[in-house]
């Protein structure tokens, strides 16, 4: 009669010890804000068995010890980026502190002598990429978070195959989760058969071994295209049709992408190379030591920002906040996913309180009901501060853009949410140029023309159940 009781006591003791060990780890884990620690402690204390499993799967921001070691080795072995010291353009000089912050993240200095244009729409972006790939003579490097075997996705597949068959070195990488349909399709192996080198970022392993390999939802969210060390693209667009058939009810996906030439291309090349060599045993040192792209006369100052969980914690959040504090007149933001930390929310409110005209545009219908609800929990505070909030009605506004005072633009893959701050590998370009920024503002104004304003009266009219739901979901934000 005592044997079952003894086993029951042993099980309870084991669970208690496990719970104490996990809670100790939560307290000791670096780079966690107090709200996050409290949220995880409550979860583990309230639901010990389930909480421990969830923490082991999702509580640690790590890519796995083996991958982290490999990435450190790759970064240590990469040749220094030989950037010729050049003065900032006169227009960029007042924003030197923004570029100094950016340089502290990756070591990439601001470079002058760049040119760029904002592509008209998603289909035009794919067509421009195809034209550049068809004109390539040395190499084509592609990295996408989502690559679908749809019309646009296959146009890129076919262009890369053509390039490889005529002797161009083609390297393509896709995230294992976001591009799983393409990777499992015959098109992936067809590229390999044509001579394209293919690689998968963050392969998905058996969930039982997941704690050894890092979080399953820690992904490479970057979108990088580099061709012949001469051209690079940066923006929010994945390699897919705007109709985005896997989530067609939210379509069209509305994105913005810029095509760059000049010295900033090499910085994106470094990001691609670091990702490539982490997962592929190939040394790209020779390519990285080749002469830098030539500066373009009269070109603007720009800088690549590459962030992720192996960069310092919340570097992307720091960039957003510092740009907001640099504003003197106007800020316009578009982002599909808004789940800020306290400092970013405060920076937005502070900008409005000090008289800056702050406008932020979200999608009216979000493909993530969790993020959509969490985002709306912040509306009231933003509106009280004087921030103008709009919701875009023309599809899923997926563009991640920030413009300041008609001069500064930040464009890329990073959202204003904790996932982009702490979990995903992202790439953005910061630039100072009135002409290019005006083209970005014109695009933002186009979004505004297809949006409706969110007013304080509208928010106050929300039913109590909706407010409770939004705030409950937002409370889970620190568990990311």
Using one digit for the tens of pLDDT, what is the confidence trace for 5-36? 555 667 677 777 787 887 787 777 766 667 67
- Nearest one of 301, 304, 267 to 112, comparing CA atoms: 301
Q: How many domains does the chain have?
A: 3
- CATH number at 282 reads 3.30.870.10
pLDDT higher than threshold 70 for residue 84 = no
Domain match, 70 and 54 both = no
Is 221 tagged catalytic? Answer: yes
Residue 210: strand, helix, or coil? helix
206 and 74, same structural domain? yes
Q: Which of 175, 405, 417, 422 is catalytic?
A: 405
**Catalytically annotated residue among 223, 275, 417, 433:** 223
Please report, rounded to a whole number, the percentage of residues in the chain having pLDDT higher than 90: 68
Which region among 54-63, 153-162, 427-436 has the lowest average model confidence (pLDDT)?
Answer: 54-63
Same structural domain, 16 and 54:
yes
**What pLDDT shows up at residue 479?**
61
d(CA 298, CA 341): 38
Q: Is 398 a catalytic residue?
A: yes
Lowest mean per-residue pLDDT among 19-28, 108-117, 212-221, 392-401? 212-221
Choose one of 248, 277, 303: the last residue of a domain: 303
Asked about 446 being catalytic, the answer comes back as no
Q: Which of 303, 332, 359 is the last residue of a domain?
A: 303
Residues contacting 63, CB < 8 A, separation 6+: 71, 202, 213, 214, 215, 218, 309, 310
Average pLDDT over residues 213-237: 89
Do 12 and 84 reside in the same domain of the chain?
A: no
Pick the catalytic residue from 19, 228, 357, 450: 228
Catalytic residue among 141, 155, 213, 398: 398
- Taking the C-alpha atoms of residue 43 and residue 20, their distance in angstroms, rounded to an integer, is 13
Residue 394 lies in a domain: yes
Average pLDDT for 38-51: 76
pLDDT of residue 207: 56
| Residue 196, φ and ψ in degrees, nearest 5 | -80, 135
pLDDT in tens, 406-418: 999 999 999 999 8
Q: Is 281 part of any domain? A: yes
Q: Does residue 232 form part of some domain? A: yes
Q: Are residues 269 and 404 in the same domain?
A: no
pLDDT of residue 202: 86
Quick one: 398 and 456 in the same domain?
yes
Return the pLDDT at 1.
Answer: 47
For residue 115, tell me if it sits in a domain: yes
Between 245 and 446, the more confident residue is 446
Domain that holds residue 15: 2-58
Mean pLDDT over all residues of the chain?
A: 90
* 104 within some domain: no
Which residue in the list 139, 141, 221, 407 is annotated as catalytic? 221
Q: Is the peptide bond before 456 cis (omega within 30 degrees of 0)?
A: no
pLDDT above 70 for 212: no
Is 181 in the same domain as 93? yes
Catalytic residue from among 139, 155, 400, 407: 400
User: 468 and 399, same structural domain?
Assistant: yes
| 405 catalytic residue (yes or no) | yes
Lowest mean pLDDT among 126-135, 182-191, 195-204, 227-236: 195-204
Residue 309 lies in a domain: no
Residue 188 inside a domain? The answer is yes
- 176 and 28 inside one domain: no
Claim to verify: residue 50 and residue 119 sit in the same structural domain: no
Residue 103 belongs to some domain of the structure: no
Pick the last residue of a domain from 273, 303, 333.
303
- Shared-domain flag, residues 13 and 69: no
Q: Are residues 33 and 90 in the same domain?
A: no
Confidence of residue 75 (pLDDT cuts 50, 70, 90): confident
Residue 473 makes CB contacts below 8 A (sequence gap 6+) with: 370, 373, 374, 377
């Amino acid at each position: 009669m005592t044997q079952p009781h003894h086993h029951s006591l042993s099980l309870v003791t084991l669970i208690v010890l496990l719970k104490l060990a996990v809670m100790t780890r939560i307290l000791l884990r670096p780079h966690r804000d107090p709200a996050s620690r409290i949220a995880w402690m409550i979860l583990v204390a309230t639901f010990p068995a389930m909480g421990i499993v969830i923490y082991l799967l999702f509580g640690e921001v790590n890519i796995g010890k083996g991958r982290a070691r490999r990435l450190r080795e790759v970064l240590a072995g990469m040749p220094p980026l030989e950037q010729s010291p050049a003065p900032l353009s006169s227009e960029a000089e007042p924003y030197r502190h923004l570029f100094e912050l950016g340089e502290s993240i990756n070591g990439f200095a601001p470079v002058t002598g760049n040119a760029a244009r904002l592509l008209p729409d998603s289909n035009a972006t794919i067509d421009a990429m195809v034209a550049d790939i068809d004109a390539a003579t040395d190499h084509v490097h592609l990295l996408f978070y989502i690559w679908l075997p749809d019309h646009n996705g296959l146009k890129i597949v076919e262009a890369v195959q053509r390039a490889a068959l005529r002797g161009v070195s083609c390297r393509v990488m896709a995230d294992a989760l976001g591009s799983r349909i393409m990777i499992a399709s015959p098109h992936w192996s067809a590229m390999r058969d044509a001579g394209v080198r293919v690689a998968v970022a963050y392969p998905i392993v058996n969930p039982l071994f997941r704690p050894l390999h890092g979080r399953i939802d820690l992904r490479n969210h970057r979108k990088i295209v580099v061709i012949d060390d001469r051209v690079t693209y940066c923006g929010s667009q994945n390699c897919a049709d705007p109709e985005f058939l896997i989530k067609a009810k939210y379509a069209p996906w509305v994105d913005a992408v810029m095509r760059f030439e000049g010295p900033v291309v090499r910085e994106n090349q470094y990001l691609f190379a670091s990702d490539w060599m982490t997962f592929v045993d190939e040394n790209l040192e020779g390519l990285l030591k080749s002469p830098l792209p030539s500066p373009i006369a009269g070109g603007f100052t720009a800088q690549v920002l590459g962030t992720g969980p192996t960069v310092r914690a919340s570097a992307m959040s720091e960039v957003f906040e510092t740009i907001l504090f640099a504003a003197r007149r106007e800020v316009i933001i578009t982002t599909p996913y808004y789940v800020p930390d306290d400092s970013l929310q405060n920076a937005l409110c502070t900008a409005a309180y000090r008289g800056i005209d702050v406008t932020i545009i979200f999608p009216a219908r979000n493909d993530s009901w969790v993020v959509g609800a969490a985002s709306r929990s912040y509306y009231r505070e933003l509106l009280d501060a004087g921030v103008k909030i709009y919701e875009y009605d023309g599809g899923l506004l997926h563009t991640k853009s920030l413009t300041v005072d008609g001069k500064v633009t930040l464009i890329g893959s990073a959202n204003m949410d904790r996932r982009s701050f702490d979990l995903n590998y992202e790439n953005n370009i910061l630039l100072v140029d009135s002409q290019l920024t005006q083209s970005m503002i014109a695009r933002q104004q186009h979004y505004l023309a297809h949006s409706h304003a969110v007013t304080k009266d509208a928010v106050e009219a929300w039913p109590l159940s909706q407010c409770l739901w939004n705030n409950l979901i937002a409370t889970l934000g620190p568990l990311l």
